[in-house]
Structure 1
């Protein structure tokens, strides 16, 4: 019988809200961070194009159990747009398709056109995207000159506002649901205006609960690594869902919840998702696994209590709290 290979890397858990640099792919950013932390398990929570910068949450260890909630979360972007030039990819990395005069384009006309891209809409993904067709990323097919039919996908654009507009330069702030391609919005906006447009710069300013104030650069990570304080830059596993209300459990209710049973918790919210925290004295008196959250079971300060972060739950119709995703108990 063949021996199982030992897992490589440290068992470290937590989240880094990386400020992804321009020119780097999201997968390359993950690999660089994994090497820096010498981590066993790490993944990102929604790709950013190489052209784009900004918020790219990286989940380590136990935090990967909750990465789907970040993948499903809303995003916010600031896009720098050039009017009058269309590219095949919808951004500055693509080849120019056509150039057209912008003319005396009024701000009011741009605002009116932007209104067509608000609310619940259907969007056809770009050929220059990571969506796969028969196992092949679309962008690889596009580079081979192959175009395939793509189905429109439902997205929600909560807002798209003009930040600045002068001549052929436009800056937009876009708040949208997951799966939204800002490049596609800009391309279609340009066609609606009759002059074409493409994204010259894109920055993600929000991904779920993480924003600009949470960002850590690779330079900061390298400096911290050299000073042997890298783990101090990890946010706790619970930060993946920190926008949700916290429910504090006693030892008794936590035990039954860990068995998969819904429990009654006084003063819990009446609906929705919640963070689950255990307020046991044994966790109050120690810091679970230390400040670096080796098991992701560090002390968690919530909106309605404190204690060890257990995972996430959902409020049932009868008011009980049902476990939905938990950190394995290693106590």
Structure 2
């Protein structure tokens, strides 16, 4: 008979350095197996073409992942000028070729035009769903979906790193939901020569950088799994690699409340926080032990109207 191994209830944040050629979901499934985790989810999909920072939340942290997902992202992208492809990356078919005759001044002026708020239509080769089906599946069948809803995006910084032999390297800091392949495709059009991505790497999500000491690759995780016995591996991974909730909710104001108030919040009682003036949401912490309880929404009269709580806290109050 096969022995059924019970999956673990783990809470934490793993910073993974995704390699190219694999989907974000495939990475997630590998990580769940390595950790024997009951529940996990990644923050911010990276295409197989892309590498870089892919945070993975475990357990109850998944319900708070949106607070990090909604933050700015930073990418390093290398594009080839002079060729436009149907996918805006090197895996597509070339649909336009043109000689590149540009100056640094041309490039700087064009890059500056991308800064700020604008509207962006999702590319057909993306995971955005239309009628429940990802757009890239329509694109592979040669079906174009017209009148896709445009998104409001913001480019905070688009910096030229290098320009050599028709290759241009940029660092882009942008809002959630920005498609870098669309930026590069539009850049090629504005430079009147065409362009497509040949390399893409996410180096930061908000304050979390790919250079954080806890960042690890899937290959390194697999080596750890081989070198440690299962029970030792789990202890090592959880203690040494997983980060606390603070990395996800760092930017949200914090309130430290007494056990009595926390118990009332958990029980759904109507609570008014008189000290609240101009904020609409707070992280609630326990005053004595500084334990994270959850995030509360507060109306303009100071009453708590909605809470997203850690399930594990209920048994302690």
TM-score by length of 2: 0.87
What's the CA shift string for 1:271-317, capped at 9, x where partnerless?
2543221133xxx4xxxxxxxxxxxxxxxxxxxxxx11111234543
What's the offset of the Cα at 1:323?
Answer: 5.1
Aligned residues: 299
Q: Secondary structure at the match of 2:291?
A: strand
C-alpha contact (below 8 Å) 2:280/2:300 kept by paired residues:
no
What's the offset of the Cα at 1:26?
Answer: 0.6
From the superposition, tell whether residues 144 and 106 of structure 1 become closer, same or farther in structure 2 (CA, over 3 Å). same
- For the residues of structure 1 that align with 2:272 and 2:24, how far apart are their CA atoms? 40
- For the residues of structure 1 that align with 2:43 and 2:114, how far apart are their CA atoms? 25
Unaligned segments of structure 2, at least 5 residues: none
- For the residues of structure 2 that align with 1:247 and 1:224, how far apart are their CA atoms? 39
Q: Out of 292, 303, 309, which is 1:326 matched to?
A: 309
What's the offset of the Cα at 1:74?
Answer: 1.7
C-alpha contact (below 8 Å) 2:298/2:306 kept by paired residues:
no
TM-score by length of 1: 0.83
- State the Cα RMSD in Å: 2.2
Does 1:15 find its partner at 2:13? yes
Does 1:253 find its partner at 2:251? no
What's the offset of the Cα at 1:200?
Answer: 0.8
From the superposition, tell whether residues 319 and 148 of structure 1 become closer, same or farther in structure 2 (CA, over 3 Å). same
For 1:311, the equivalent position in structure 2 comes to 294
Structure 1 runs of 4+ with >4 Å offset:
318-323
- For the residues of structure 1 that align with 2:161 and 2:286, how far apart are their CA atoms? 44
For 2:35, the equivalent position in structure 1 comes to 37
For 1:219, the equivalent position in structure 2 comes to 219
- For the residues of structure 2 that align with 1:107 and 1:125, how far apart are their CA atoms? 29
From the superposition, tell whether residues 206 and 230 of structure 1 become closer, same or farther in structure 2 (CA, over 3 Å). same
Does 1:230 find its partner at 2:241? no
From the superposition, tell whether residues 216 and 326 of structure 1 become closer, same or farther in structure 2 (CA, over 3 Å). same
What's the offset of the Cα at 1:132?
Answer: 1.4
- For the residues of structure 2 that align with 1:324 and 1:20, how far apart are their CA atoms? 33
